[in-house]
Structure 1
Amino acid sequence: MTANPLLTPSTLPYHLPPFALLRDEHYLPAYEQGMAEQLAEVTAIAEQADAPTFANTIEAMERSGQLLERAKLVFTIMTSTNSNEALRAIEAQVAPLYAAHRDAILLNSKLFARIKALYDAIDEVEGAEEQRLVERYYLDLVRAGAALPQADQTRLAELNRELAEASTTFNQNLLAAMNDALVVVDTAQELDGLSEGEIAAAAQTAAERGHPGKYAISLILPTSQPVLATLTNRELRRRVHEASMGRAAEENAEIAAQMAVLRLERARLLGFASHADYVIADLTAGNADTVMEMLGRITPAAVANAAQEETALQTLAGGVQLAAWDWPFYAEQVRRAEYNVDSATMRPYFELERVLVDGIFFAAHKLYGITVVPRPDLVGYLPEVRVFEVFNEDGSPLGLFLADYHTRAGKRGGAWMNELVSQSRLFGTKPVVVNNMNIVKPPEGEPALLTFDEVNTMFHEFGHALHGLFSSVRYPRFAGTKVPRDFVEFPSQVNEMWATWPEVFTNYAKHYQTGEPMPIELVERFRAASGFNEGFRSTEYLAATLLDLAWHQITEPPADPAAFEAKALQEAGVSIAAIPPRYRTNYFAHIWASDYSAAYYSYIWSEVLDADTVEWFTENGGLRRENGDIFRRELLSVGGSVESLAAFRAVRGRGPSIEPLLARRDLN
């Protein structure tokens, strides 16, 4: 094995991992040595003779595990974006080891005694961020089971190991299913309705995936696939939809049911009635009843809107019974007929590079004064991953931003943000963050032309990136997006507003060939159509949210996962054949392979804050540096070092109101 570059801190700018030197065989040794080192560090902290102080206990804990953190962050990005058989094998081996390692720390009785002593005398700890860190460490250990009897702790560790293994298997099954669910056709004629560029991309995808001479449609993670809006071949639309719905259906549904039961047992061990109660108790919502009350207020109105839309679409479909694979197609027909807007007309004005530079970076510069400069001399984890350096208005360095926008075999679905290096004044580190999406890669030399949904997602994910880049805290536990799960989506959703802000929109929405701005009449039609199909969008999201909560409020094991899902949707009032949930159980990676279990409601909970904040920006002149400075200083920069709703109040001047959201989604 070559010298392992993970074993020492990177010497590259901003401690960017040395991807050019990394090999698959480096990860497992780095994990093993990292866990051994951190366990030794924590043991020394827990067993020292000196009385506990903030410095010798809490800050010492923050300093521990640096090698493990490096290995984990790099390995996570590689398994998410460029997985292969070797990495999947390591992932399966590491998951239970890492779960056991965390339990060895979180259930260390001597460590807990020291932290509890500091928590009990928290007023004697100097500094607001320091006090909050003591509180957070104490709550983390209590929620991990540190106060439980030994027998319960032993069972808890077993549950955590089983859950880690199951989550990894679920994710790997889904990744394989995403590749296998490729929909292949023989002729270009079958792709009628797609643009020439989309057809060329389908030919390239087929060639890359082992089907030369044919055409292949790759799938994105959510149920509804973008091509359904324009494919005229109804049978092909059905194939695409059923391929989407059926991904890993049998194996992952069983794993999900198993995980739900294990999570229920763990929650009860920790003194909660359900996993949902356990999760939400530590989030800004506070309890599951508050979440269900909010969802109960908006779900009936969303379903009623969707029913009106369905009636209109069924009329357009004529004698054909409207199915889930028909809805996007006929909705697109209505959009064209009533608003004179269609996706094919819009795409030439949404070229990826222009959206990124003249849209996303432009808005960030106007609002926050930052500049984003390409760094082609720095190497990402793949050749197509671009590296940018970000500077404050005064020229001081802020961090690095990596962009990875195209789909590929071995890359998980969806869009997300990762940190590769966390900001911390304790270590003197600046942030390195990554945005990932799954935009179909065009043929060589051709531009990537986006749907507006993809444009909006790019703005959203860069909102997460800004949350990480603007972090200004001392302790890594609070850096950037390390905030409650039902708050983390809020800043990124706010950043979506700039996608349609006139000054920004007109700067990037230009024809990729002529450079001409989108005609004003098309802009007006586009804005008029922006609220169209809102019933569908709200209902498919709410169905997934309520499905998540149903799984995590079970009181006994479900006999049949598919029957449980159907019953859950029926009882929640969102069982509409033509509007399946945004994610079904078998490919609901957010809740089975990520950190959103019992918290997928976070998107609409955060949207309450988002809609209210958009109103604040608008009332105060919108894209103004003064507004950006306030939002950055009071909220984005503080990460988790301040209670989240207190940060919101510091910007808004009051607590959140749900009314702006109800108006936005036509739910009044």
Structure 2
Amino acid sequence: MVCTVERCAVATVNPLLVPSTLPYGLPDFSAIRDEHVMPALQEALRRHKAEIDTIAHDPTTPTAMNTVVALEQSGQDLSRVVGYFYTVAGADATDERLRIEGEISPLLAQHTDDMYMNADLFSRIDTVFHSLSESLGDLAPLAEKTQIPLADVEAETSALVRRYHELFLRHGAGLDAAAQARVREINAELSRLSSDFGDTLLKDTQARAVHITDEAELEGVEESQKAFFADTARAAGKDGWLIPLGLPTVQPILEQLARPDVRARIYDASLQRGGQKNETIAQRMALLRAEKAELFGYRTHAELVISDETARTPEAALQLLTDLAPAAVRNAERERAELLPVAQADGCTTLSAADWPYYAEKVRAAHYSLDSAELKPYFRLRNVVEQGVFRTAEILYGLRITKRDDLHGYTPDTDVWEVTDATTGEGLALLLTDYFTRPTKRGGAWMNSIIDQNALLGQKPIVINVLNLTPAPAGEDTLLTLDEVETLFHEFGHALHGMLSKVIYPLFSGTNVPRDFVEFPSQFNEMWALHNDTLPVYATNAAGDTIPPELVEKVRAAQKFGQGFATVEYLAACIIDMAWHTLTRDGIRALGEDIDVAAFETAALQRAGLHVEGIAPRYRTRYYQHIFSNGYSAGYYSYLWSEVLDADTVDWFNEQGGLVPEAGQRFRKMILSRGGSIDYMTAYRDFRSRDKDVTPLLRRRGLV
């Protein structure tokens, strides 16, 4: 074929550097290859730098529109590349994508530093900040373009100016040249180390999958689970069964395994993930973070981070943790006293951390006549998603969620859904769902945005929910545990926060809120998993029978059982996070290079009164992806902080009558749609008509 100029030009266009023509700007995953990523990123960085330079050297008087709004409009190519790459790199982390990520991370870190430490740009932003009322005079065209009242545009733009000014200062704009240079060095190294930590954990987790060759070792395991382990082994070129490992310390399969030696093997494999290499990386990251905090005038990394959260201080966050610890430990000790005789009757001399889940399941079955296996036939994935998760949101928020078979995700089992307004038919968002585990998928469950909603650029959101569910054999229903059902509702709560956003600026869109607020909508959404208005609709077996009311009552009666264990393992993980990040730089240096990390963790837990025999922290340092790879450093407390709001909100919805559209619309308007454009606790106070109350949380966790 003759290559005309036109054909050659088309052939060489990088699909990441042009807006997608698909609905909502969905990336054309079939057209994008890994080799497109680095050239696209380099060109997008070049373009964004040029845009920044134009803004920084604009000869006209700085205004909100020509400086801060202009900055917010810039970097669209970069957002497209980054949104695509980190979506596929997390959910399908091939060796090539891990290599690319290692190249991308330091480039993005350097680019971020270049922008926030640009003296000319900050000078203009500082001028706008200090003459804010005078700087808002040219926003009328934006109000007309977006069809948003001018007063609302001015209010959100004022918030945007204040936030950018704060971000520039928090990234080093106010530091002297020497301090800025050191911050750049620290950021570059932290970016590399964070990527290394995550890559090491992923590869080591894959390598430590437990290989079983004798079926007798799988005594107690459900047949569908065995079939999955056999399929996993075949895919890895092995005979027998291969048990992959999940993210937390306690692996779910421990509940089923009758053989204590096999439980011990799996538990030990879980503990070893990441190894000495990740412990060394973690200590180095903690030291660098502490040094960076000092450069910004803070004693510790936790002080620096939490000053930008709703908790404001590490002391406030720690107070919540330590207030709950004594009651949680008492509950856990009571649970242990119940489990120990059952374990001893099986020949165990003590109750180890590997054995606790198995005997907890046995006691739950005995005390509440509840076997988790009884529930699974009623928790069929498709029904849970469409008749549970989606239907609940449709009723509460006036939505319609429809599968788009004409659109495709990044893997064959990634589905695409369109979310529309049920009354007007207006398209609101696209949702991608990627539910099944694969060897290249990172552990855990998450939501992320490919495109953030914003009126400034006229963009509607594209969000993704990712889980690690075990698929059923071909032709069979995928059956879920109650934990997995709650995870589906949780991650969709994050998705709703992104999809129902209604803001002007991308910086404020959806889940772009403090970490100790972002978990509030997601945790609240879990309330519908077992609610009387929802459960009978989606919890049906293959014959069409609804879950029996007596089984539901057993589940509810058993809900507080195990709360001691769950609360202690969570609080313990929070304390380990804080133990690293409330140390000063000198404090970390004093630990020495040959620190026994396990002893460091144990000492921190004992100081907090959280040492319970048989309960390990939900995450330990060497595989603590949240704080050393996922941006939650000094922030794992956020789940509990948000749960205070969540539990209080659950009470409010029940007071309103449950699944009531009017209640949902109030929550949507006052919380979900506002994103980061609000003062969070003021917004909550307005929604609830009073300050938050911790009592519903204490009651939920059986602490009162």
User: Shorter-chain-normalised TM-score: which range?
Assistant: over 0.9
CA distance in 2, matches of 1:440, 1:286: 40
CA distance in 2, matches of 1:44, 1:3: 26
Per the alignment, residue 583 of structure 1 pairs with 619
The structure 2 residue matched to 1:418, chosen from 448, 452, 460, is 448
Matches for 1:90-239 after TM superposition, within 5 Å: 90-126=100-136, 127-211=154-238, 213-239=239-265
The structure 2 residue matched to 1:656, chosen from 669, 689, 692, is 692
Q: TM-score, normalised by structure 2?
A: 0.93
Shift of 1:189: 2.4
- Alignment of 1:515 with 2:544, yes or no, is yes
- Alignment of 1:606 with 2:616, yes or no, is no
- Alignment of 1:481 with 2:508, yes or no, is no
Per the alignment, residue 326 of structure 1 pairs with 355
Per the alignment, residue 631 of structure 1 pairs with 667
Shift of 1:125: 4.7
Per the alignment, residue 56 of structure 1 pairs with 66
CA contact (8 A) 1:459 1:495 kept: yes
- Alignment of 1:16 with 2:26, yes or no, is yes
What secondary structure does 1:535 align onto?
A: helix
Q: TM-score, normalised by structure 1?
A: 0.98
Matches for 1:142-541 after TM superposition, within 5 Å: 142-211=169-238, 213-318=239-344, 319-320=347-348, 321-394=350-423, 395-511=425-541, 513-541=542-570
CA contact (8 A) 2:332 2:612 kept: no
Residue type of the alignment partner of 1:228: L
What secondary structure does 1:20 align onto?
A: coil
Shift of 1:566: 2.2
CA contact (8 A) 1:34 1:65 kept: yes
Shift of 1:250: 1.0
1:601-627 CA-partner distances (Å, limit 9, x unpaired): 000000000011111111111110000
The structure 1 residue matched to 2:633, chosen from 597, 615, 634, is 597
Shift of 1:562: 2.9
What secondary structure does 2:466 align onto?
A: strand
CA distance in 2, matches of 1:16, 1:154: 39
Shift of 1:2: 5.2
CA distance in 2, matches of 1:248, 1:469: 35
CA distance in 2, matches of 1:660, 1:296: 18
CA contact (8 A) 2:62 2:135 kept: no
Residue type of the alignment partner of 1:418: N
Residue type of the alignment partner of 1:468: G
Residue type of the alignment partner of 1:84: T
CA distance in 2, matches of 1:123, 1:193: 69
What secondary structure does 2:336 align onto?
A: helix
What secondary structure does 1:630 align onto?
A: helix
CA contact (8 A) 2:533 2:658 kept: no
Residue type of the alignment partner of 1:101: H
Shift of 1:440: 1.4
- Alignment of 1:567 with 2:577, yes or no, is no
CA contact (8 A) 1:223 1:244 kept: yes
Per the alignment, residue 148 of structure 2 pairs with none
What secondary structure does 1:390 align onto?
A: strand
Shift of 1:647: 1.8
CA contact (8 A) 2:322 2:608 kept: no
CA distance in 2, matches of 1:659, 1:446: 43
1:353-395 CA-partner distances (Å, limit 9, x unpaired): 1100110011111111211101011010111100001111221
1:41-83 CA-partner distances (Å, limit 9, x unpaired): 1111111111110111011001111111111111101110111
CA contact (8 A) 1:253 1:562 kept: no
Per the alignment, residue 87 of structure 1 pairs with 97
Shift of 1:655: 1.5
1:235-260 CA-partner distances (Å, limit 9, x unpaired): 11111111111101211111001000
Pick closer, same or farther for the CA change 1:613–1:186 going to 2, 3 Å: same
CA distance in 2, matches of 1:622, 1:360: 15
CA distance in 1, matches of 2:378, 2:275: 38
Residue type of the alignment partner of 2:353: A
Identity %: 46
Shift of 1:442: 2.1
What secondary structure does 1:377 align onto?
A: coil
Shift of 1:187: 2.8
CA distance in 2, matches of 1:537, 1:229: 14
**CA RMSD, Structure 1 to Structure 2 (Å):** 1.1
Pick closer, same or farther for the CA change 1:571–1:371 going to 2, 3 Å: same
Pick closer, same or farther for the CA change 1:163–1:50 going to 2, 3 Å: same
Shift of 1:22: 0.7
CA contact (8 A) 1:200 1:443 kept: yes
CA distance in 2, matches of 1:622, 1:128: 34
Per the alignment, residue 7 of structure 2 pairs with none
1:138-191 CA-partner distances (Å, limit 9, x unpaired): 000011111000100000000000000000000000110121121110133221
Shift of 1:217: 1.1
Residue type of the alignment partner of 1:234: P
CA distance in 2, matches of 1:4, 1:234: 55
CA contact (8 A) 1:125 1:131 kept: no
CA contact (8 A) 1:188 1:199 kept: no
CA distance in 2, matches of 1:287, 1:400: 37
What secondary structure does 2:674 align onto?
A: coil
CA distance in 1, matches of 2:430, 2:599: 47
Matches for 1:17-36 after TM superposition, within 5 Å: 17-36=27-46
Per the alignment, residue 622 of structure 1 pairs with 658
CA distance in 2, matches of 1:409, 1:359: 28
Shift of 1:576: 2.7
CA contact (8 A) 1:417 1:435 kept: yes
Shift of 1:230: 1.2
Residue type of the alignment partner of 1:10: S
Shift of 1:650: 2.1
1:285-328 CA-partner distances (Å, limit 9, x unpaired): 01111111111111111111101111111121115111001101
Pick closer, same or farther for the CA change 1:195–1:427 going to 2, 3 Å: same
- Alignment of 1:6 with 2:28, yes or no, is no
CA distance in 2, matches of 1:397, 1:328: 45
CA distance in 1, matches of 2:476, 2:224: 8
What secondary structure does 2:552 align onto?
A: helix
CA distance in 2, matches of 1:302, 1:565: 19
1:252-274 CA-partner distances (Å, limit 9, x unpaired): 11100100000000000001010
CA contact (8 A) 2:647 2:696 kept: yes
- Alignment of 1:644 with 2:674, yes or no, is no
Shift of 1:649: 1.5
CA contact (8 A) 1:170 1:592 kept: yes
